[in-house]
Amino acid sequence: MKEIIKKLNELKKEKNAIILAHIYQLPEIHDIADFVGDSLDLSKKAVQTNADVIVFCGVHFMAETASILNPNKKVLIPAIDAGCPMADMITAEKLKEFKSQYKNPVVVAYVNTSAAVKAESDICCTSSNAVNVVKSVADNKSDIIFIPDRNLGNYVQKTSGVKMNIWNGFCPTHNNLILPEYALNAKEEHPQAEVLVHPECRPEVISSADHIMSTGVMCRYVEKSTAKEFIIGTETGILYKLKKDNPDKNFYPVSSFAVCPNMKKITLAKVLDTLTNMKNIVSVPDDIRQKAYIPILKMLEINAQG
C-alpha cells in the first residue's frame, strides 16, 4: 500500500495530475485524493483546477461532467465500468419522446444522467442545489420535466411548491436498501441522534428525517452541529469521512448494507494503473459536449443550498 501511494504521488507531480474522489469511494481512495466531495463540489473543483490530468474516482457520469467542463484536460476514470443504474434509466431518445408530450417543456436533469441526456436538457441540478434550480426555472408557462430520480423529484416538488412532471427513475442503493422500517429502528435505538437523509431515499424515509441533504452538505452540517450522534441515511462510504473529520462524534447508518457497488469498483491498484498508463480516458463527442455544457454551466451559476 505504501509503495502504491509513493508511486502515485510521484506520478501526480510528473503528469501534473489531480485525484478527485466522490464521498462514497473506499477509505483508501479518500486518503490519497486531493479532494473528496459531493457531485456539485467535484464539478466545481474540476473547473477550478490547473491540473492537466484529472483522475476521477467516482461513477461514469461524474467523470463525463468533468470532461464536458474541461475539454482541454485529460479526464481518466480508474474503473471504466463504474456506471450509475439510475442514470441508465433514461436515454436521450426516451427523453425526446417524453418532451414531445408537453407544449412548453423545460427539462431539469439531475447530474446523474449521460452527456447525451444532458444535451437534451435545459438545466442540470445536483441534490444540493435542486430546489434552487427548480425555483429558478419555474414560471406559469413552462411544463417542468424533472429527470431521472422520482424520489429527489418528489422531494423538490414538495419543498419548492413547483409542480413538475417527474420521470420514474430511482437509485437502487437508496431506494431499495434504505427502508422506512430501518430508519424507525435506528431512531428507536438512538433516540438522541439527529437523522440526516439523502433525497434519493424513499418519501417515507425522507419524512422520518430531521434534515434532507446531499452528501457534501451533510459533511459540512455535521462539523458545525453541536449534536454528538447522527443517524445517516445514505450510501455507507460517507461514514469514513464523517468519522475521520469528527472523531468525537458517533454515526449510525440507517442501513449498513446500503452500498453502491459501482462506486466500490475503484481500487488503489486501478488508480495507479490508470495514471501510469494514461488509460480509460473519458471523452464526449464534440457536438454532444457543446450542447451538454450549457445546462451544466447554467447549474453552476445557481447558488447551492447549505
Q: Minimal distance in Å, beta carbon 200 to ligand 13P?
A: 5
Nearest Cα to Cα of residue 5 among 19, 16, 22, 15? 19
Residue 8 makes CB contacts below 8 A (sequence gap 6+) with 19, 32, 268, 271, 272, 275
Is the Cβ of residue 38 or residue 64 nearer to ligand 13P in the bound state? 38
Say which amino acid occupies 84.
C
SS3 for 20? strand
Among 200, 241, 255, 265, binds ligand 13P (CB under 6 A): 200
Q: Minimal distance in Å, beta carbon 83 to ligand 13P?
A: 11
Q: Cα 95 from chain centroid?
A: 21
25 within 8 A of 268, measured Cβ to Cβ: no
The span of 73-81, 96-104, 114-122, 126-134 binding ligand 13P (CB under 6 A) equals 126-134
Eight-state DSSP code of residue 265: G
Told to check if 43 binds ligand 13P by CB under 6 A, we report no
Q: Cα 286 from chain centroid?
A: 24
Q: Minimal distance in Å, beta carbon 197 to ligand 13P?
A: 11
Among 49, 214, 236, 255, binds ligand 13P (CB under 6 A): 214
The span of 75-83, 123-131, 187-195, 268-276 binding ligand 13P (CB under 6 A) equals 123-131
Say which amino acid occupies 117.
V
Is the Cβ of residue 75 or residue 86 nearer to ligand 13P in the bound state? 86
The span of 73-81, 97-105, 121-129, 274-282 binding ligand 13P (CB under 6 A) equals 121-129
Angle at 147 between CA 141 and CA 153, to 5 degrees: 80
Angle at 198 between CA 231 and CA 40, to 5 degrees: 125
Positions in the binding site for ligand SF4 (CB under 6 A): 59, 84-86, 112, 171-174, 200, 235, 260, 262-263
The contact set with ligand 13P (CB under 6 A) reads 38-39, 112, 126-128, 171, 200, 214-215
